[in-house]
Structure 1
Amino acid sequence: MIEFLSNNISTLIALIATGAFAGVLAGLLGVGGGIVIVPVLFFIFQSFGVSPESAMVVATATSLATIIPTSISSIRSHKRKDNVDFDLLKHWAMFIFIGVLAGSWLVTRMNGTWLGAIASMSALNMLFRTGKSAMFQSLPGKGGQVAMGTSVGFFSSMVGIGGGTISVPLLTLYNYPAHKAVGTAAAIGLIISLPGAVTMLILGQSPADAPVGTFGLVNLLAFLCIVPLTVLFAPIGASLASKLDANKLKKVFAVVLLITGVRMLVQLLL
């Protein structure tokens, strides 16, 4: 292991830098950092001779694992600013959890990058609707919120991202305050990442060409390189979020989300 690390210093530096950037995004946008971590790990794993299919599934599972401590750090920062809606979480938690279990099971059986189309459409909606009134004036009834929570957990776990990528556009569509949507998304990320990562770690079977340090579907070497930086930098992102007005925050999120969606689509089509 020591020889492996010494021969791959540039890879370690890339993982550390990824952790720092992902931490800032986690705090700033409530996205858990997966939108950065998944593509970086996807390409790094392939540089070690791992097939694209194996690289994607291990990158997805590892990303979910890194979101656990990152979300905790981000939640603490947003909670101090009263930007976490615990009442909403209380109603959504069980349905998010159910969606996560279903998505985590399915991710080992199919490629989830098609979700890039959904991410791209959500981003375009936020970009073109920024500054305009919300499409709806309040959240839907119980049935609608059950569908929202379950969908957020299901799709997010399939592509290794925190709930913010899907939940923030959904909530703001229903006239939900942008800052509170971001803070609450950080908590949703924890509900998604914990059962998702555990499921993939315990039930996932490591591919034959999995990178060194992979247990189940989670690469612990990448996890240990990334996590300390995400935890350290998440509060910085949360601090930046509190200084942006709602419209600017939506624009920042939409641009990042659009990049993510395009990246997913390219991987699907090429």
Structure 2
Amino acid sequence: MTEMPIGEIFGFAAGAAAAGAVSGLLAGLFGIGGGAVLVPVFYQAMGPLGIDEAVRMHVAVGSSLAIIVPTSLRSFQAHFARGAVDAALLRSFLVAVPAGVVVASLIAAFISSAGLRLIFAAIALAVGLRLVFNRDSWRLGDTIPGHPWRAAIGFLIGLFSTLMGIGGGVMNNTFMTLYGRPIHQAVATSSGVGVLIAVPGTVGYIWAGWGDPLLPVGSTGYVNWIALALIIPVTVLVAPLGARLSHALKRRHLEIGFGLFLLIVAARFVASLL
């Protein structure tokens, strides 16, 4: 494993704690696990520490998924208590979403760092543009489709979200709103989807990176425990605040805010590929 000087570890720790506060707020506000913040922050922070490019993105994604576990659980609790979660839709995803996660974990064992960044940027760009320029007329229907289409969509949500290191909010919010569901319900349900993604995704990324000699200190597979120890307590405390803000804001404000955030993240990753 790659060793870090003590001073650089402290610098990384401070940045990770700050990222944890922001990601926890976003987890509750947008129904995401915070991965859209954590992945680019981790990727950039590990560069000056001398961590090899070949594993930087993988560690960022794997660690993000692990952090999403308690964050999504806490956010889901807060939204469920308000009665905003579509429990029937969530139950229909119980098999399909984790199946996509398993396939993504297998892909992660072989895909390059650039490949992961490209996937992240492409999906974030598409969803961000759709949210910023959204119109009520942009719908695929008024009723969410049943099986087998719903299972296929759940599989793709699990697949692409795991490759991005996010909790499913990006994909599920888009899916539900395209079929006429209120953004607040989509946000709330997405926090539950995050649980279905993060738990098996964490196990999958540990397996995918097991024994890699390029991993930074404190890692098991592609999950870095130093980052988890610093960020998880902060995100769990802040997520309920985001949930309260979510229910206080108008739908269009949520869409524009989430969309602009995704566009900024996409631009940053595209720049890293040039």
TM-score where L is the length of structure 2: 0.92
Structure 1 counterpart SS, 2:142:
coil
The aligned residue for residue 64 of structure 1 is 65
Structure 2 counterpart SS, 1:205:
coil
Structure 1: give runs of 5+ residues left out of the alignment: none
Partners of 1:159 and 1:132 in 2: CA distance:
29
- The structure-2 alpha-carbon separation of the partners of 1:5 and 1:186, relative to structure 1 and needing over 3 Å to count, comes to farther
The aligned residue for residue 147 of structure 1 is 152
| Aligned-residue CA RMSD (Å) | 1.7
Partners of 1:86 and 1:250 in 2: CA distance:
22
Q: Is the 8 A contact 1:133 1:175 kept in 2?
A: no
Match of 2:116, as an amino acid? G
The aligned residue for residue 174 of structure 1 is 179
Deviation digits for residues 25-76 of structure 1 (CA, Å, limit 9, x no counterpart): 0000011000111111112222221122211111110000000000011011
Structure 2 counterpart SS, 1:129:
coil
- The structure-2 alpha-carbon separation of the partners of 1:239 and 1:211, relative to structure 1 and needing over 3 Å to count, comes to same
Partners of 2:101 and 2:138 in 1: CA distance:
31
Report whether the alignment pairs 1:27 with 2:32. Answer: no
TM-score where L is the length of structure 1: 0.93
Deviation digits for residues 179-237 of structure 1 (CA, Å, limit 9, x no counterpart): 01001101101100100101222453243222110111111011111111010100010
% same residue: 35
- Aligned residues, how many? 267
Equivalent position to 1:119, from 120, 124, 135: 124
Partners of 1:141 and 1:133 in 2: CA distance:
20
Report whether the alignment pairs 1:224 with 2:229. Answer: yes
Partners of 1:213 and 1:98 in 2: CA distance:
29
Partners of 1:189 and 1:238 in 2: CA distance:
15
Q: Is the 8 A contact 2:105 2:208 kept in 1?
A: no
- The structure-2 alpha-carbon separation of the partners of 1:170 and 1:261, relative to structure 1 and needing over 3 Å to count, comes to farther
In the TM superposition, 1:194-233 aligns within 5 A as 194-233=199-238
Structure 2 counterpart SS, 1:142:
coil
Deviation digits for residues 136-181 of structure 1 (CA, Å, limit 9, x no counterpart): 2221231221121000000010111110011111211111111010
